[in-house]
Chain A
Amino acid sequence: MKDLSKYWRTNLRYMLILMSIWFVVSFGCGILFVDQLDTIRIGGFKLGFWFAQQGAIYVFVALIFVYVYLMNKLDKAYEVDE
């Protein structure tokens, strides 16, 4: 068995980074800074509106799969995979 407290700390670091992105795309882009972003346009979408109704959801899906990938690798490295 390798050092499990290090495994746990790495896991927490991954979580913290990914949850920060989660916060920025939803509460940040979709709510707090939505009006500022709305001054930028992409096609027919105002950017803030797009994040609030589309973009945030796509990023959510991506975040979970990134976490799955990172954790599968981490589990193997610390020999705690099943």
Chain B
Amino acid sequence: MDIQVWTFIIVGLTFALYIAIAIWSKASSTKDFYVAGGGVSPLANGMATAADWMSAASFISMAGLISFAGRDGSKFLMGWTGGYVLLALMLAPYLRKFGKFTVPDFIGDRYYSKTARIVAVVCALFVSFTYVAGQMRGVGVVFSRFLEVDINIGVIIGMVIVFFYAVLGGMKGITYTQVAQYCVLIFAFMVPAIFISIQMTNNPIPQLGFGDTLSGEQGVYLLDKLDGLSTQLGFNAYTNGSMSTIDLFMYTAALMFGTAGLPHVIVRFFTVPKVRDARKSAGYALALIAILYTTAPAVAAFARTNLINTVHNSEYATTTPEWFKKWEDSGLMAWIDKNGDGKVQMAAGPAFEGKKIEFEGERRESNGERVVANTPTANANELYVDRDIMVLANPEIAQLPNWVIALVAAGGLAAALSTAAGLLLVISSSVSHDLLKKTFMPNITEREELLYARLAAAGAVIVAGLFGIYPPDYVAAVVALAFGLAASSFFPAIFLGIFDKRTNMKGAVSGMIVGISFTMIYILIFKFGVGFESVKAAKPYQLFGISPEGIGTIGMILNFAVAIVVSRMTEVPPQEIQDMVEDIRIPRGAKGPDHIH
């Protein structure tokens, strides 16, 4: 059977499963809708958290990024896992004891202020919308490449599925579909990784395989081989870094603290029955995430080695592999024969000028390659590869069976849909709970609130779909903003709310505003070049050698400093707030959210 038939079968089966779960787990109260009734087992919550967290970026893009960045790619690996230690030790248990529905709930109550709540809602909405745009686009890309349907129809199919289980089931529906999606995505990621690891090193465990010797060459370690190939072609050695230490440090820290401050991750810990379950389920979540995150660097090294071995110096008309031409057709790979020898040469540096590759329609060069409209650069590199295809193309590069390739498509969809659903829930609860019930329409009944929650979720699905169909071309860039903002706003406010009784409303609000403004302004100037054309032109455009993705760390430190100093200079928080802080530090007596109402 060919790839397309396999993909239809496997994707169809997984979608049917998600819909069946949605019907079975319909939400009947706001507690069901916001926190799945508060009765999810720690293991199930761990799996749901893992699926929620691992997005299209983790599944599709990350290994490809590492593949081209080598050791510098470690920032993603450590940055996107290390935050869970912060969550488990510093935030999750206490927020569970606090026992309400949303992150703005905590900020608003702890700092006894509607202003603080609204600042938190705005941050939560911004972070979540930024994120969800990328997910819907990921869904569209997978559909168009593997099922050859139009990218927009792909996005609409994705919207309908998410609509079904997010709007009907709320957090309850989302949780149990995420459990299923975790299983699909981890299976889909591991199967090709294991196959390729055996092929290349005779070692069935990818985590060990990429430190093992090659099966083809006696006694040569894979990483040494890859270092050799890389330096031969003029790249950095794969296992050496080129980023400055301070930049790598700040970048990694921003991702870690950003992770711990992301509302769609935090809210998952409101769904377990007890405080001890919150700690335990953070452990399960990270263990389950680590399966993918320790495999990804192995996949990255395998893919890079395979790419160089099969493509470099291959003759386009005869020996260049078939998959190369398929990806060229979808516009994600390109070749220009700079030296006119008919062979594909790889070297350091970009092959073409400009960020986006443009083709001259379907016009072909003499060897049969597509003609690129971009100006070629002066260096020897002739190959353009989109980072995102490394995971998707990897099974084809390694010539694995068609069903494995179809499985990867289903896995990519599971990763994108599960994250999108989690984000949509944050958006809907921010609107119906924090803005309507708690701020503007305090008199609505629970039934009405549930209705508004569903309407908000439906509205959010449509907006997310529109983002997918008409993607703002800065999607990738704004993700930096999402992490930076989460790190510089939520993390300090929540941390101080638990660990420092003295932090008051004025301190927390001014801290959040300073942290966010600093981070936002830095990113606008140094990432987008707003207001300073000269800054944008002078690359690397940054202060203290810190890239815009890492500036959230500095924003966070500023937030902490301002919050602590301002609090010390102004009034002590009211006694009942101090009692509340005492109370959340002790596990005993954790109640479900509805006891507090």
State the A residues within 8 Å of B (CB).
4, 7-8, 11, 15, 18-19, 22, 26-27, 30-32, 34, 38, 42-46, 49-50, 52-54, 56-58, 60-61, 63-65, 67-68, 71-72, 75, 79-82
In the bound complex, what is the Cα–Cα distance between A6 and B82 (angstroms)? 28
Secondary structure of the B side of the interface?
helix
Q: Which of B242-299 contact A (CB under 8 A)?
A: 245, 248-249, 252-253, 256, 274-276, 279-280, 282-283, 286-287, 290, 293-294, 297
> Measured between C-beta atoms, what is the minimum distance from A78 to chain B in Å?
9
Give A52's nearest chain B residue, CB to CB. B74
> In the complex the two chains form, is B275's CB within 8 Å of A82's CB?
yes
Q: Across the interface, which residues of B come within 8 angstroms of A72, CB to CB?
A: 276
> In the complex the two chains form, is A31's CB within 8 Å of B587's CB?
no
Q: Given A52-B74, A53-B77, A56-B78, A46–B587 Cβ distance below 8 Å?
A: no
Number of interface residues of B (CB under 8 A): 51
> In the complex the two chains form, is A61's CB within 8 Å of B77's CB?
no
> In the complex the two chains form, is A27's CB within 8 Å of B253's CB?
yes
8 contacts between A and B (CB under 8 A): A31-B249, A49-B223, A53-B66, A53-B73, A57-B290, A64-B286, A80-B587, A82-B588
In the bound complex, what is the Cα–Cα distance between A34 and B248 (angstroms)? 12
Give B238's nearest chain A residue, CB to CB. A49
> Measured between C-beta atoms, what is the minimum distance from B544 to chain A in Å?
16
Question: A53 is contacted by which of B276, B280, B297 (Cβ under 8 Å)?
Answer: B297
> In the complex the two chains form, is A30's CB within 8 Å of B74's CB?
yes
Q: Given A60-B82, A61-B287, A54–B294 Cβ distance below 8 Å?
A: yes
> Measured between C-beta atoms, what is the minimum distance from B47 to chain A in Å?
15
Say whether B561 faces chain A, with CB atoms less than 8 Å apart.
Answer: no
Q: Across the interface, which residues of B come within 8 angstroms of A19, CB to CB?
A: 85, 89
For the A-B complex with A34-B241, A42-B211, A57-B293 known, give 18 more contacts whose Cβ atoms are closer than 8 Å.
A4-B585, A15-B89, A26-B252, A27-B253, A31-B74, A31-B248, A32-B245, A34-B71, A44-B224, A56-B81, A57-B78, A57-B290, A57-B294, A58-B294, A61-B287, A67-B88, A68-B283, A81-B276
> Measured between C-beta atoms, what is the minimum distance from A15 to chain B in Å?
5
> In the complex the two chains form, is B586's CB within 8 Å of A7's CB?
yes
Give B249's nearest chain A residue, CB to CB. A31
Give A14's nearest chain B residue, CB to CB. B89
> In the complex the two chains form, is B586's CB within 8 Å of A4's CB?
yes
Give B582's nearest chain A residue, CB to CB. A4
> Measured between C-beta atoms, what is the minimum distance from B215 to chain A in Å?
13
> In the complex the two chains form, is A64's CB within 8 Å of B282's CB?
yes
> In the complex the two chains form, is B274's CB within 8 Å of A63's CB?
no
Give B42's nearest chain A residue, CB to CB. A68
> In the complex the two chains form, is B77's CB within 8 Å of A50's CB?
no
Give B80's nearest chain A residue, CB to CB. A57
> In the complex the two chains form, is B85's CB within 8 Å of A64's CB?
yes
> In the complex the two chains form, is B224's CB within 8 Å of A81's CB?
no
Q: Which of B193-244 contact A (CB under 8 A)?
A: 207, 210-213, 221-224, 239, 241
> In the complex the two chains form, is B223's CB within 8 Å of A44's CB?
yes
In the bound complex, what is the Cα–Cα distance between A51 and B585 (angstroms)? 34
Question: B276 is contacted by which of A30, A58, A60, A68 (Cβ under 8 Å)?
Answer: A68
> Measured between C-beta atoms, what is the minimum distance from A42 to chain B in Å?
8
In the bound complex, what is the Cα–Cα distance between A4 and B590 (angstroms)? 16
In the bound complex, what is the Cα–Cα distance between A73 and B222 (angstroms)? 45
Q: Given A7-B586, A68-B283, A52–B77 Cβ distance below 8 Å?
A: yes
> In the complex the two chains form, is B82's CB within 8 Å of A56's CB?
yes
> In the complex the two chains form, is B89's CB within 8 Å of A64's CB?
yes
In the bound complex, what is the Cα–Cα distance between A81 and B97 (angstroms)? 12
Which of A4, A54, A60 neighbours the largest number of chain B CB atoms within 10 Å of its CB? Answer: A60
Q: Which of B62-95 contact A (CB under 8 A)?
A: 66, 71, 73-74, 77-78, 81-82, 84-85, 88-90, 93
Q: Across the interface, which residues of A come within 8 angstroms of B222, CB to CB?
A: 44
> In the complex the two chains form, is B89's CB within 8 Å of A67's CB?
yes
Q: Across the interface, which residues of B come within 8 angstroms of A82, CB to CB?
A: 274-276, 587-590
Q: Across the interface, which residues of B come within 8 angstroms of A54, CB to CB?
A: 207, 294, 297
> In the complex the two chains form, is A46's CB within 8 Å of B239's CB?
yes
> Measured between C-beta atoms, what is the minimum distance from B316 to chain A in Å?
33
In the bound complex, what is the Cα–Cα distance between A71 and B158 (angstroms)? 42
> In the complex the two chains form, is A31's CB within 8 Å of B252's CB?
yes
Question: A38 is contacted by which of B210, B239, B253, B275 (Cβ under 8 Å)?
Answer: B239
Q: Across the interface, which residues of A come within 8 angstroms of B224, CB to CB?
A: 44
